[in-house]
């Protein structure tokens, strides 16, 4: 995470056009996902098109089962598309090996899901420091401690996930996702398991990282007030993104 966060800090308002030379955070073209099961093929994504600019915050809303999580998994390179293309800062995620995708994620992406996926045998500090260490940060533990302090867990560094409440575990997951200062943040209903106060704190952190470091934020949410905090909202219906005039 070098100076790239500075260069994506454009300061543009949402209505101004991107400069021609700017590489989109995401460029998604005719993206398709089909599962083939015993009952036949199920089309989950039916040709999704979208462009998301660096530093832009985009909310994704839509009914349960419309394909929001599937789209986010593909955007994170965590699932293989059956068709179409998905470019993140110019890298075509549909044509990369698992190893290349893992490396790209480590360098560029912070991902926060509803379930925390913390490593139970590691303390909060170790959970946050490990990705930084893998990325080659020499001050991984200092940065991890700072990230945990920023989410209000400065007194919990040496606690294991089982010793933390759900809200605290989610904050550790958020510190882990944001400590490397990724230029892409993907969040799938990150406040779904949390009460109002914890949820609001998580959202303030996500939007704060976006504001302070220019990260592109893609936020799947059921909450209209959170979608309204984004630069724009996209609505999924039955495996497709609706055109803006229908959102």
Least CB distance to ligand ADP at residue 218 (A) = 13
* 191 interacts with, out of ligand ADP, Mg ion, none, CB within 5 to 8 A per kind: none
* Whether the Cβ atoms of residue 188 and residue 69 lie closer than 8 Å to each other: yes
Least CB distance to ligand ADP at residue 189 (A) = 8
Least CB distance to Mg ion at residue 218 (A) = 13
Q: Is 70 in the site for ligand ADP (CB under 6 A)?
A: yes
Q: Is 221 in the site for Mg ion (CB under 5 A)?
A: no
How far lies 177's CA from each of 11, 63, 84, 196, 240, in Å? 23, 26, 27, 21, 28
Give the sign of the dihedral formed by CA 195, CA 193, CA 107, CA 33. negative
Within the chain, strands assigned E span: 26-37, 40-52, 57-62, 83-88, 91-92, 109-112, 184-188, 216-220, 232-237, 240-241
Stretch that binds ligand ADP, among 19-27, 62-70, 96-104, 159-167 (CB under 6 A): 62-70
User: Which of 5/69 has CB closer to Mg ion?
Assistant: 69
Q: Is 69 in the site for Mg ion (CB under 5 A)?
A: yes
Q: Would you state the structure tokens that stand for residue 149, as one six-digit string?
A: 């302090």
Residues forming contacts to ligand ADP in the complex (CB under 6 A) are 35, 42, 44, 62, 64-70
Residues forming contacts to Mg ion in the complex (CB under 5 A) are 69
């Amino acid at each position: 995470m070098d100076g790239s966060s500075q260069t994506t800090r454009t300061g543009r308002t949402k209505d101004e056009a991107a400069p021609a030379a700017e590489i989109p955070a995401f460029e998604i073209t005719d993206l398709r996902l089909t599962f083939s099961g015993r009952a036949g093929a199920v089309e989950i994504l039916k040709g999704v098109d979208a462009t998301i600019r660096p530093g832009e915050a985009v909310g994704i809303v839509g009914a349960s089962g419309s394909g929001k999580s599937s789209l986010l998994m593909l955007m994170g390179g965590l699932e293989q598309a059956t068709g179409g293309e998905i470019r993140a800062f110019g890298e075509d995620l549909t044509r990369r090996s698992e190893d290349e995708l893992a490396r790209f994620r480590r360098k560029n992406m912070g991902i926060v899901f509803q379930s925390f996926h913390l490593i139970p045998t590691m303390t909060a500090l170790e959970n946050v420091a490990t990705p930084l260490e893998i990325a080659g940060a020499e001050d991984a533990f200092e940065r991890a401690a700072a990230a945990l302090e920023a989410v209000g867990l400065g007194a919990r560094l040496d606690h294991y996930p089982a010793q933390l409440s759900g809200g605290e575990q989610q904050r550790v997951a958020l510190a882990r996702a944001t400590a490397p200062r990724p230029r892409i943040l993907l969040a799938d209903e990150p406040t779904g398991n949390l009460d109002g106060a914890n949820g609001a704190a998580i959202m303030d952190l996500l939007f704060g990282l976006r504001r302070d470091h220019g990260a592109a934020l893609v936020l799947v949410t059921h909450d209209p007030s959170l979608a309204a905090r984004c630069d724009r909202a996209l609505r999924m219906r039955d495996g497709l993104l609706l055109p803006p005039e229908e959102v």
